[in-house]
Structure 1
Amino acid sequence: MSIQWFPGHMVAAQKKAAETMEFTDVVIEVLDARIPGASQNPMIKELGAARQRAHLKILNKSDLADPNVTEQWIHYFNKIPQTKAVAISCKKVNEPKKILAHCQTLAPHRGDTLKPLRMMIMGVPNVGKSTLMNAILNRRIAKVGDEPAITKQQQRHQINDHMILIDTPGMMWPKIRYPSDGDLLAANNNIGKNAYFEEEIADKLGGILLEQYPTLLKSRYKLENLSTDGIALLESIAKKKGFPLKNHGIDLERAAITLLNDYRQGLLGRISLETPESRMLMMSRQTTPGEENPSQDKEI
């Protein structure tokens, strides 16, 4: 079953963002570097394209992502017209401060007292927008937390006499087109917990990790032999960690939460769950009959 999550406040946020886009020079879209494709909001792309706005894609949390895969995404995004992509980690103090300079490069005709550079920062929930805002402004103005949809209203910040930054709430889109995107967003904690079952998401996450990062799983959970699928992996983790139930069964729910938390916190190692190539393949496979083949599109 496909995951869907679109809280009511996001309807108003979407409308407000469309209005603000008219007076924006550069759209700063914050993505999760571990799932750059899945964490793109197609609504943001459509709003920016309609106004022909320059686009800065921030691959945040790059310290948690596979650096080789991140380089592939940077190369891919930088081939898109009017687009620049950079990878950062808000844990590194100097990296967020470079964002304003990147925006200035994308809109060289703006940036003085008569024509200030107007930027709008957008992204799905819990990709680190608030942390990034605080780092750029060098003060705590946005509430930060490890849960989706904390910021619920748009805020305007005058950085100096020639730069203005608009902060927007984390926004999803009304219908997630590809089921695997919902799974990846849930695995990365970008979706409210009431929208999915942790065991199901951990099962799917485990399947990806078994295929792409088996050595990291062996190291983290001290496993000599790896399982063949996600559920079997959860069973192995539960046994290794000693997560029994009163009826002598195995506590898969606790194992699922353990795997998800270890992945989200980077305790497994640096991991990316999709590459440009794997995403293109996914899109071609999940296209429904009668739809145009996304693999023929210029952009993912």
Structure 2
Amino acid sequence: MEEQKSKINIQWFPGHMTKAKRQMEEHLKLVDMVIELRDARIPNASKNPLIEQLTKQKPRLILLTKRDKAQPEATRRWVEHLQNEQVKVLALDLLKDPLEKRITSAAKELMKDKLERMKRRGIRPRAIRAMVVGIPNVGKSTLINSLAHRRAAVTGDRPGVTKALQWVKIGKELELLDTPGVLWPKFEDAKVGMLLAVSGAIRDDILPLEEIAYWAMDWLQEQYPQVVRERYGVELQENPYDTLLAIAEKRGYKNGTAIDEKRLIIAFLREIRDGKLAAITWELPDED
């Protein structure tokens, strides 16, 4: 494991994402609005500029998912920061919240003017059609399945599960076009790449996990030192690498007498992603 701050620049743009971007462009004319999912722990880093560029002419409902894993006050600030006339924002726990009622209500509010125009013209309003977009592993398939009350989409706690577009009818008032998770070809800000890696939006098998774990511990020691102490029962070391080694010693992550770094890193990142440390928000709206 490297004992210095990582300056890696993570890149990932597999072929199916190029295809997904093209399909999204082709299908946008079929929908009334866009439902964009972002991770409530990293609302800025999980914003895909490609999606923003493609969908800027459409009314948008932003869903901050995994709110149960984010710091509540920070989430409240993000909701306030992101909302405007064209954009509504909901913070959701996709496994516990009443999704259909809240999302349908928000969609009808966003489309209120169009629905009223249709009524004035004597046209019976049809179901609102919305394209569901977002980065990998942000909860799109979980959302679709919860709303459809069936296994309409394959789910998995790993990026890149959904590979094709599909329509899903939600009651009488909403039709959703599910899309694959799409990342963008270059992260201009290295921190964005790190946050996406820490959150699980990028496949682990292409990542330098040691450097990501080091970066995450360095950040946690600065921002949430007491959380680290309480979770792992170790004293923080000046070098985050040494803190990670102390955790390995405490938990017995060893191969013989040597530290089992792979086991340590996988366990550490998994606990962050599962929200086992605490409800943590990794970026705030007033940060540069």
TM-score with structure 1 setting the length: 0.87
Q: Give the secondary-structure state (helix, strand or coil) at the position aligned to 2:154.
A: coil
Counterpart contact for 2:144–2:168, Cα < 8 Å = no
Q: How many residues align?
A: 274
- Taking the TM superposition and a 5 Å limit, the aligned residue runs for 1:168-179 are 168-179=179-190
1:71-105 Cα offsets, whole Å, 9 max, x none, are 11111101x44111110001214145411211111
The residue type paired with residue 266 of structure 1 is G
Equivalent residue number for residue 108 of structure 2: 104
Q: Give the secondary-structure state (helix, strand or coil) at the position aligned to 1:127.
A: coil
Equivalent residue number for residue 46 of structure 1: 53
d(CA) in 2 for partners of 1:228, 1:95: 44
- Taking the TM superposition and a 5 Å limit, the aligned residue runs for 1:49-198 are 49=56, 52-78=57-83, 80-95=84-99, 97-108=101-112, 109-110=114-115, 113-198=124-209
Q: 1:227 aligns with which of 222, 237, 241?
A: 237
d(CA) in 2 for partners of 1:228, 1:82: 47
The residue type paired with residue 143 of structure 2 is L
With CA pairs under 8 Å and 6+ residues apart, which has the higher RCO, 1 or 2? 2
Question: Is 1:7–2:18 an aligned residue pair?
Answer: no
Q: 2:267 aligns with which of 237, 243, 258?
A: 258
Counterpart contact for 2:99–2:146, Cα < 8 Å = no
Q: 1:28 aligns with which of 35, 44, 48?
A: 35
Q: For structure 2, which runs of at least 5 residues remain unmatched after alignment?
A: 1-7
CA spacing shift, 1:107–1:261, aligned 2, 3 Å = same
Counterpart contact for 2:34–2:132, Cα < 8 Å = yes
d(CA) in 2 for partners of 1:134, 1:199: 34
Q: For structure 1, which runs of at least 5 residues remain unmatched after alignment?
A: 281-300
Q: Give the secondary-structure state (helix, strand or coil) at the position aligned to 1:235.
A: helix
CA spacing shift, 1:244–1:134, aligned 2, 3 Å = same
Shift of 1:53: 0.6
